[in-house]
Amino acid sequence: MTNVVKRFPGVVALGGVDLDVQPGEVHCLLGQNGAGKSTLIKVLAGVHEPNEGTIEWAGEAVTLHHPQAAMDLGVATMYQELDLVEGLPVAENIFLGHEPTRFGFSQRIAARREAARLLARLGHPEISPAAEVGTLSAASCQIVSMARALSRDAQLIIMDEPSAVLDAGEVAQLFRVIREVTDQGVAVVYISHRLEEIREIGDRVTVLKDGKTVATGLDAKSTPTQELIRLMTGRSIEYVFPPKAEVVVDAEPVLRVEGLSRAGEFGSVSFDVRPGEVVGLAGLVGSGRSEVVETIFGARKATSGTVTVDGTVVRGGSVAAAVAAGIGLCPEERKSQALVLGASLASNITLATLPRFSRGGLLDGSAEVEAAEELLESLDVRPRGVHRESRTLSGGNQQKVVLARWLLRGCKVLLLDEPTRGVDVGARSEIYALIRRLTDEGVAVVVVSSEIPEVLGLSNRVLVLADRTVRHEGPADELDEHAVLDIILKGDAA
Amino acid sequence: MSADVTKADQAGESAAGRAVGDTTATPSGPPVGGAAPRRDGGLAGFLSGPAGRNAGLVLALVLLVVVGIITAGDRFASPENALTILRLGSVIGVVSVGMTFVISGGGIDLSVGAIVALSSVWATTVATQTMAANIHWIVMVIAALVVGAVCGLVNGVLIAYGRMAPFIATLAMLAAARGLAEIIAKRRTQIIRDRGFIEFFGGSVLGIPVLVIMFAIVAVVGWVLLNRTTFGRRTLAIGGNPEAARLAGIRVQRQTMYLYILLGVACGIAAVMIMARTTTGTSTHGTLYELDAIAAVVIGGTLLSGGRGTIVGTVLGVLIFTTLTNVFTLNNLDTSTQAVAKGAIIVAAVLLQQRVSRTRSG
């Protein structure tokens, strides 16, 4: 595709993008959030029509009015936001829109058999084609989504951050499948924020910035990381973690978790967090990390164990009680768990603090807007505008809005579940700096992240979870990524 | 692509241009979601904004009035007829204002008509009327409000704590409440004997019927409650994203229950009003109110999926339907034709609304 332009009202989402993809290659798209990656793939998938520019398919100019037109050409897309129908079984999701039929009747048995074959090929024969998608984990849903793309016999598969919800083993499996399909001449457009993945799987890299192609056809293996980051940001930094705060060792812990368990999810988790300390929970997807923080927050009811804030036991299983005790949570799924997408930034920010802006139940709108504006400014949320709907923001900026909610409330304990998932490099370091600022104010922070360097870089102490139990607890300085992986993989409690 | 102007932009503009302070001036960082919101939205863009939607409803109302004047002349365009329209609309209007809260909060209530019937019957039984005669007619009012509130409470508990689908729980209430009303009234019409009650609610203040004043008060209180209080904000939050509201510390179940109680009380008020208008209480009062109320709320612009609600829109919706009925009646057209016209209006309004929400997600 050459010189593709896509304008939305008020926004030029793509302002001249060139991309050429060869058969059998893995072409990686790099760019910060909002650089236009998602818009670009939607143009390729026929969801949006470009205002200018041309798309050529095997040398012929094509126009994609409709997703079906793209699919007919052989373009399959795996969206970042999973697009599965929760109430339908796996097999029917995989063949949604192109069900095997005979005489107009759907061939359910054939569909199930074929689905099982695709899932086995993806290394997940344990996912039953008859299982309802709603009952599957996020990672399994990703696998189903991938099976759907494969089921179309596509010539070009677009993958928008497919690894975001996968653990290391599943990513390896994904890469094996990618190699398999590219060997058959299928082209893959691969989007990821993880440079190391691009190094491993990619052939060529195109970098987008502000809706434009800034570099194309770079060698994925040999282009220096610094160079890629410079192209994406105009800066040359990788993850820069602020220096860690000194924690007073004998200070009374703010948060004390004792013997917290939830049947079937995790067992006997105990740890303390002192004022100004960051405790990281490291572990693979499915190790129970998110479940632990959600239980601390009362969003899940503990089977046993207690959570204590400043010496007072927090009533279990009640979010309201946890919030009243001074705990805040930035949940894993921003869009579905944290934001009221159709509501303004201001009302999202004040959602946990409404009583402060009310007198006798009446809201003081101007005070609310003022407080929200102040926070948006200090967190550098773009585009600004307190009345803007939160759905119009990019991932990193949405995360800042969620953080602003708890900053406004002034928490004693802040639980951050995947604070930088889907957040670009620039916003990442801003969020890191913000966490540091909070600890300077004496807030106790618990960080959950799939990215081990992030956990190690932010935390004073780290708990390593595997198989739903704590395998290791110790200072972050004494660990590196390999040591953590060792603990997880070997079950070594050293 | 003028129709693509997003609601956010419109909201920004209507809020004194405050949201326009975008970041074009600052050079660094990703200018993600957009430079300055475009202002050349055109008519379609304007109509998709909140102010524009209300303007669209006003336009529809004006058109109806013009049709009324042309077809029925002075019989339509008289102060008396205007008050008739308002009086007719006030009962369903009160229910619709309450319904706006439930729908904004992500729910639905099919039992409103039945609750009105049960409240009117309970408030006019021999026992209640005897007590009212001995004490004060306010007893009848209290009886109606309490019955409404209790029905709402039952709905709310079943939905919020019993985790029943609102559609099913209130469908059950629809059947049960009207059935109970028939049992209590033995399917007879109960005449109200208390002159004080009828004179108070049937009277006028400064030429404006008390019923209309009651509707106005309910609408104003409803507007303040939805737009200017924590209660309203929580309602929109649980309607927009219940999980996010829960994780922000809002007691979603309790708030949900409150919404149904609120609507129950509104039904109690409506029962008092219909009792005053007809001087009776019967189990046939409020028939099909659920459909009229939901229709008025939806054409008013409240999202049926929750998260956005507008009292002004609801009031305009009620006035449109009532004026329509009035125009048809003055022209001696039957109710069946009215029903067809109503259906057409609902479809047109919902199509417009879908177009708006498509624009927002695109």
pLDDT tens string B185-213: 998 999 999 999 999 998 889 889 999 99
Write down the pLDDT at residue B35. Answer: 36
Q: Which of B29-38, B47-56, B123-132, B341-350 has the lowest mean pLDDT?
A: B29-38
* Residue B361, pLDDT above cutoff 60: no
Write down the pLDDT at residue B318. Answer: 95
B356 interfaces chain A, CB cutoff of 8 Å: no
Write down the pLDDT at residue A11. Answer: 45
Q: Do the domains A255-490 and A2-233 match in fold?
A: yes
Average pLDDT over residues A156-162: 85
Three-class SS state of B208 = strand
Q: Write out the two tokens for A161.
A: 């951050």
B194 interfaces chain A, CB cutoff of 8 Å: no
Q: Which of B15-29, B242-256, B290-304 has the lowest mean pLDDT?
A: B15-29
User: Mutate which of A6, A319, A381, A394 to test chain B, going by most B C-beta atoms within 10 A?
Assistant: A319
Write down the pLDDT at residue A70. Answer: 82
What residues contact A397, with CB distance under 8 A and at least 6 apart? A33, A381, A382, A427, B32, B33
Please write down the long-range contacts of A247-251, taking CB distance under 8 Å and 24 or more positions apart: A247/A274, A247/A275, A247/A276, A247/A277, A247/A460, A248/A274, A248/A275, A248/A276, A249/A274, A251/A275
- pLDDT tier at A12, thresholds 50, 70, 90: low
CB contact under 8 A, B30 and A388: no
Write down the pLDDT at residue A34. Answer: 60
What residues contact B64, with CB distance under 8 A and at least 6 apart? B320, B323, B324, B327
Average pLDDT over residues A359-384: 86
User: Mutate which of A7, A8, A193, A300 to test chain B, going by most B C-beta atoms within 10 A?
Assistant: A8
A268 interfaces chain B, CB cutoff of 8 Å: no
Span A410-463, pLDDT tens digits: 889 999 998 887 777 778 888 888 888 888 888 999 999 877 788 888 899 999
* Residue B2, pLDDT above cutoff 80: no
Answer with the residue of higher pLDDT: B360 or B160.
B160
Write down the pLDDT at residue B32. Answer: 37
* Residue B101, pLDDT above cutoff 70: yes
Domain A2-233 sits in CATH at 3.40.50.300
CB contact under 8 A, B244 and A363: no
Q: Break chain B into its structural domains and give their ranges.
A: 2-12+53-361
- Within chain B, strands assigned E span 190-191, 204-205, 208-209, 280-281
Span B306-352, pLDDT tens digits: 888 999 999 999 999 999 989 988 888 888 888 888 888 888 877 77
- pLDDT tier at B29, thresholds 50, 70, 90: very low
B307 interfaces chain A, CB cutoff of 8 Å: yes
Instruction: Specify whether the CB–CB gap between A174 and A93 falls below 8 A.
Output: no
Span B48-84, pLDDT tens digits: 556 667 777 888 889 889 999 998 888 888 988 999 9
Which chain A residues are within 8 Å of B231, Cβ to Cβ?
361
Domain B2-12+53-361 sits in CATH at 1.10.3470
CB contact under 8 A, B307 and A361: no
* Residue A237, pLDDT above cutoff 50: no
Write down the pLDDT at residue A4. Answer: 56
User: How many residues can be counted in chain A?
Assistant: 494
- pLDDT tier at A101, thresholds 50, 70, 90: low
Answer with the residue of higher pLDDT: B3 or A425.
A425
CATH assignment of A255-490, among 3.40.50.2300, 3.40.50.300, 1.10.357.10, 3.40.309.10 = 3.40.50.300
Write down the pLDDT at residue B9. Answer: 40
> Shortest CB distance from B247 goes to which of A299, A388, A426?
A299
> Shortest CB distance from B20 goes to which of A343, A357, A385?
A385
Distance from CA of A355 to the nearest CA of B (A): 7
> Shortest CB distance from B33 goes to which of A323, A350, A392?
A392
Q: Break chain A into its structural domains and give their ranges.
A: 2-233, 255-490
Write down the pLDDT at residue B285. Answer: 94
Span A300-346, pLDDT tens digits: 999 999 999 998 999 888 999 999 999 999 998 888 888 988 888 99
How high is the mean pLDDT of chain A?
82
